[in-house]
Amino acid sequence: MDSTTKSSPPLSDKSRIHVIIVGAGFAGLGTAIECHRQGLSVAVYERFPELKPLGDILSFGSNGGRIFARWGPVVDRMLPVSINLQNYGFRIHKYTGEHVHTQPSMPFNRQAPTINGHRGELHQILFNYARDDLKIPINLGSEVTGYFESTNGAGIELASGEKIYGDVVIGSDGVRSQARALVLGRETELESSGYAIFRAWFSNEDILADPLTRHICENGDTFNGWIGPDVHLLVSSLKGGKDVCWVLTHKDTSEISDRWSFPGKLADVYKVLEGWDPICKRIVSKTPESSLVDWKLIWQDPLPTWISKHGRIALAGDSAHAFLPTSAQGATQALEDGVTIAICLSRAGKYRIPDALHAFEKIRYDRVQKVQETGKTTRDKWHNASWDNVKRDPKAIELPREDWILNHDAEEHANKMCEEIFGARSNRRARGESRI
């Protein structure tokens, strides 16, 4: 054999793992992109007939940015619509108005950037990359009404009656997941977290027109927070100060029904902010009421398993684990799920799919639970702040940035764990590939 490196022959369609993904959110798209990257056959089914630019600010920690950086042009497309706080940081105030601390921004790292932008815009970038750049089949307007599996395969049934067959199904169909009932063998109930948020995103014209609020936008991107008893307000400007976003987290006793998103009323926001720094109400007053959302924060205790009886269907993202916004990790953990699923399937091979999905759960389960808990601990840290302690140590009020979360490399970790579980060359043996 000469010294020239020879690539393995392309896998025949019959020998490739066929992955069906339900849901084209961040979990679904992330899983699809990484499955494609690992050489698997993948198709996505999404019930919405078209993308809608829903939501407002969304955060990906550097552990998510590290994943994006490996996906071709994705980071270069996201950075222009992402907040840039290198020269501003996070300015933290007591609810009565005193500026107590400025938390510096983390140094920019192109290989693992922090991405904060509009959910709809970031989602569109990822969708376009999957569909247009990678040519991944994404079937919009395809409502999934049922799931099925056997020891040899799995699939979905569409509202049209058509059945789609594959080797494995990934249910990334959100907090209302139908796949969850099949995996657990029962329906589950979502619970109220005891909190809700008012949230809004709008353009900067009225903020700029008022001398008292102009500083929020006139010099580029900003990030300010006001911390009070069981309440906190975060205000950002993005895209060079062109857009404004704010999120107000507060106690809420509403019951969770089949809806938890409602049109918001400014009068209700003002009630929460009574006695607060007047600038908070002034910023809120610039908000077009049509852009205000009253969002009830749901919670679900950790599921006993994410894997179905025959090991052919797995849950990912919000289907498996709902996150509170104060974790700032929900979307990133969905990406980590997708990377891990794809690597486990690739390393285990077509004839060990149940082993692959159980390996995914083993690799991810404890980490996800620990990261979920940070949503509660960060919220409680702010909502029960001791201002005497903060006066002695202003860093005590900072937004936590845990190294064990942010420095995690999901791809590297999954490969390392799979080598321990399956062996270094198990994927080639399982797929019938010869050594080079």
Active site residues: 199
Instruction: Compute the residue count for the chain.
Output: 436
Q: What are the phi and psi torsion angles at 392 (to 5°)?
A: -75, -35
Distance CA 133, CA 5 (A): 27
Instruction: State which H helix or E strand residue 374 sits in.
Output: helix 353-383
Report the 10 Å Cβ neighbour count for 276.
20
Give, as one character, the DSSP assignment of residue 307.
B
Helix axes 353-383, 410-422, angle to 10 degrees: 140
Question: What is the end-to-end Cα distance of the chain in Å, rounded?
Answer: 9
Instruction: State which H helix or E strand residue 31 sits in.
Output: helix 26-37
Report the 10 Å Cβ neighbour count for 309.
14
Q: Of the candidates 273, 321, 282, 346, which has an alpha carbon nearest to the alpha carbon of residue 37?
A: 346
Distance CA 223, CA 299 (A): 27
Report the 10 Å Cβ neighbour count for 51.
15
Distance CA 67, CA 34 (A): 9
Looking at the DSSP bridge assignments, the partners of residue 227 are 94, 232
